[in-house]
Amino acid sequence: MKKFRLINEKVITVFLCSMITLFAFSSFLSNVDKEVLSNMFSSVNMIEEDTKEEFVDSISELSKENNVTKRVIVYDGMTMSELAEKLNRSLKSTIAGKGDIFASYSLERGVDPYLAVSIMLLETGCNWSCSSLMRKCNNVGGQKGSPSCDGGSYKSYPSLDEGIKGFIDNIADNYYAYGLTTPEAMNKKYAASNMWAIKVNNYISSVKAKCCTQSG
């Protein structure tokens, strides 16, 4: 009986201590300044936001680095933009700045862009001043056909871009398609003079020698 009473006293003591502790903690919370608590939570949120920003910045930098390393080579060790820039260094007068269409459409049709530009330069004289056929009718390669340019046998195109594409189509469909892929092979069909191939090759050497700035 005495032992049982001793146990009850211990239980009561533990219970009272627990109640006093709970009451004290409740009193502490009620006395804490709400503004202090708000500032504490705000600080935590700011840390989380800073961490998020740092993470996003890291991902962006990594993405930029990957873009720099992924250069898509399309021709002669160059990207499309680098090739267009290189061709532009040989394009003057009315044809200036058309390196992009010469580069992209030549490759699309499987034609050597150096060859296409070189034939155009020889046929139009655009290394100095473009021919009247090109200036009036956008004919960049001396193609014949309809619609007629000023009533003659040479073809007229609605725009310079269409004229360039038509010229490259002519090379692809009427020369490359039959295995005529070099100035020497094309000479007899394209021009009467045997000097035509020599002149085209000279232009090719000149176009290739033009340096272009590589982009990252």
Read off the pLDDT of residues 155-168 as tens digits, 9 standing for 90 and up.
Answer: 999 999 999 999 99
- The boundaries of the domain holding residue 105 are 80-209
Judge contact between 142 and 155, C-beta under 8 A.
no
Query: What mean pLDDT comes out for the span 71-90?
Result: 96
CA-closest candidate to residue 204, choices 178, 174, 177, 184: 184
Q: What digits encode the pLDDT tens for the residues 161-210?
A: 999 999 999 999 999 999 999 999 999 999 999 999 999 999 999 999 98
pLDDT at residue number 99: 97
Instruction: Return the CATH number at 107.
Output: 1.10.530.10
Residue type, 162: E
The answer to whether residue 28 scores a pLDDT higher than 80 is no
In a domain, 202, yes or no: yes
Of 73, 74, 100, 71, which is closest to residue 87 (Cα–Cα)?
100
What is the arithmetic mean of pLDDT over 74-81? 96
Domain presence at residue 150? yes
- Per the structure, how many domains does the chain have? 1
Q: What percentage of the chain exceeds 90 in pLDDT?
A: 61
